[in-house]
Amino acid sequence: MPKARSEFVCQNCGARYMRWQGQCRECGEWNSIIEVSVEKAPTPGRQAAARAMSGFAGAAGSGLKILSTVTAGRTARLPSGYREFDRVLGGGIVPGSVVLIGGNPGAGKSTLLLQTVCRLSLQVPVLYITGEESLEQVALRAQRLQLPADKVQIAAETSIENICALAAQVRPAVLVVDSIQVMHVDGIESAPGSVSQVRESAAALTQFAKRSGIAVFLVGHVTKDGALAGPKILEHCVDCSVFLTSSNDPRFRTLRCQKNRFGAVNEIGIFAMTDKGLREVSNPSAIFLNRQEITAPGSLAMVVWEGSRPLLVELQALVDASPYGNPRRLSVGTDQNRLAMLLSVMHRHAGLQLADQDVFINVVGGIKVEETAADVPLCLALLSSFREKAIDRHTIAFGEIGLTGEVRPVSSGQERIAEAFKQGFTRFIVPRDNAPRHLEPGMEVHPISRINELNALI
């Protein structure tokens, strides 16, 4: 019998200490350190996971191999049934992967996963574990959303040992655990949701997923400042961590990847929350570009590249005489420092003097633009607001501006132009190197190579 020992663990970040103290040295949180007992033996959760796994082939360590001889046969991805979801995951669900879905209460995590497993159940066996809602509540929701639930296996369960045993029995391709914060591992004293419980539960499920080849989706809660609740180790041990957030418009939800071991992280998926559950939005430009019929000075549409697709967003600028000696520069949705740089470049190379003006920039729809392709539209919007001359509403612009006043090409210029043309834009202000060779009928292209050429276009 191993000797019982105790240690002190911060409930906020998981840091461990030999003795109690009032403040955690790692994360600075007060009163977050509690005493927990530790066992020397492997923890019970992992033991149970190991027991449940014994039925699966390849359960032991792999031994030495040459990387090129390792066959990656099992990694064929499983489409989730939602193109937006697949895109965020990097092209579908990878067998044996662990995906953590975070989001505020009411973001739609349970709805998204329920809809996904119901669609998946038409092709592969699935298992849905609900720890927060009762079976009746889940059934009611599935009925109301008219989901195909005939083949969905479901259990209300909060014990990791039982979940692993159920999964070993059902052998699903996809296992959903809603949520990791209510799960517990027997033999650990602390309450569900505490650092040690979440860590052990996640570790056991991860180990189970890797050995069994079952893809596991974990729902994770977020704290009030938007970080995932529980220990940081949760994000380390999962393969993908995605967040479901609501944009400024409460009808829409954005699925964004923060970590992905099997694909790019800059992809976003957009869903609309309707009375029939979450619906994919296949044409997101239409929602970010909800433009009025009347054109006002300082407003312009631009094409930004989000992950692997173009997105049309509206950019607004307001230039106004500053009443005090200290003019303000504020940008929402774009980089503040980039704005300061562009103002200097405009002054030096395009003769635009804004030293006594307040400057405000806003990207409509609450989207964050980090691309340098927003430079040219930003300068155009500034010019338009300063001169109080509206830009033709069929105009779209993109392009990067350098410190010497040159306009540089950006990646995927042709795709950006094609997308904007599809959305009804006909006048294009683009870097010379991005100008299309063949113009479609009705297209008007203004290729520019220096920033001062913008003056003539407003």
Q: Known binding site: residues?
A: 103-110
Distance CA 43, CA 48 (A): 9
Is residue 225 within the footprint of ligand TYD (CB under 6 A)?
no
Nearer Cβ to ligand TYD (150/275) = 275
Is residue 108 within the footprint of ligand TYD (CB under 6 A)?
yes
Task: Tell me the DSSP string of 402-429.
Answer: -TTSBEEP-TTHHHHHHHHHHTT--EEE
Cα angle value 273/279/285 (rounded, 5°) = 90
Query: Which residues, 6 or more positions from 1, have their beta carbon under 8 angstroms from its beta carbon?
Result: none
389 binds, among ligand TYD, Mg ion, none (CB under 5 to 8 A by kind): none
Choose among 98, 99, 107, 102: nearest CA to 221. Answer: 102
Choose among 417, 301, 452: nearest CA to 364. Answer: 301
Choose among 361, 367, 363: nearest CA to 284. Answer: 367
Distance CA 337, CA 344 (A): 11
Nearer Cβ to ligand TYD (81/277) = 277
- Using CB under 6 A, pick the residue from 225, 275, 293, 356 that binds ligand TYD: 275
- Using the structure block, give the residue that is written with the tokens 């939005």: 281
141 binds, among Mg ion, ligand TYD, none (CB under 5 to 8 A by kind): ligand TYD
Stretch that binds Mg ion, among 106-114, 135-143, 312-320, 376-384 (CB under 5 A): 106-114
Q: How many C-beta atoms surround the C-beta of residue 212 within 10 A?
A: 25
Is residue 277 within the footprint of ligand TYD (CB under 6 A)?
yes
Nearer Cβ to ligand TYD (120/430) = 120
- Using CB under 5 A, pick the residue from 11, 97, 110, 395 that binds Mg ion: 110
Q: Which helix (H) or strand (E) covers residue 300, if one does?
A: strand 299-306
155 binds, among ligand TYD, Mg ion, none (CB under 5 to 8 A by kind): none
Nearer Cβ to ligand TYD (16/144) = 144
Considering only residues 45 through 104, tell me which ones interact with ligand TYD, judged by CB under 6 A: 103
Q: Are 391 and 295 in contact (CB under 8 A)?
A: yes
Q: Closest approach of Cβ 399 to Mg ion, in Å?
A: 43
151 binds, among Mg ion, ligand TYD, none (CB under 5 to 8 A by kind): none
106 binds, among Mg ion, ligand TYD, none (CB under 5 to 8 A by kind): ligand TYD
Query: Amino acid letter at 77?
Result: R
Is residue 241 within the footprint of ligand TYD (CB under 6 A)?
no
Q: How many C-beta atoms surround the C-beta of residue 247 within 10 A?
A: 15
- Using CB under 6 A, pick the residue from 105, 250, 323, 441 that binds ligand TYD: 105
Q: How many C-beta atoms surround the C-beta of residue 198 within 10 A?
A: 30
Contacts with Mg ion: how many residues (CB under 5 A)? 1
Q: Closest approach of Cβ 306 to Mg ion, in Å?
A: 27
Query: Which residues, 6 or more positions from 371, have their beta carbon under 8 angstroms from its beta carbon?
Result: 304, 305, 410
As beta bridge partners, residue 216 has: 98, 175
Considering only residues 130 through 149, tell me which ones interact with ligand TYD, judged by CB under 6 A: 141, 145
Q: Which residues are part of a known binding site for ATP?
A: 103-110
Stretch that binds Mg ion, among 107-115, 144-152, 287-295, 368-376 (CB under 5 A): 107-115
105 binds, among Mg ion, ligand TYD, none (CB under 5 to 8 A by kind): ligand TYD
Distance CA 161, CA 44 (A): 9
Summarize as ranges the residues that interact with Mg ion (CB under 5 A). 110
Summarize as ranges the residues that interact with ligand TYD (CB under 6 A). 103, 105-111, 141, 145, 273, 275-277
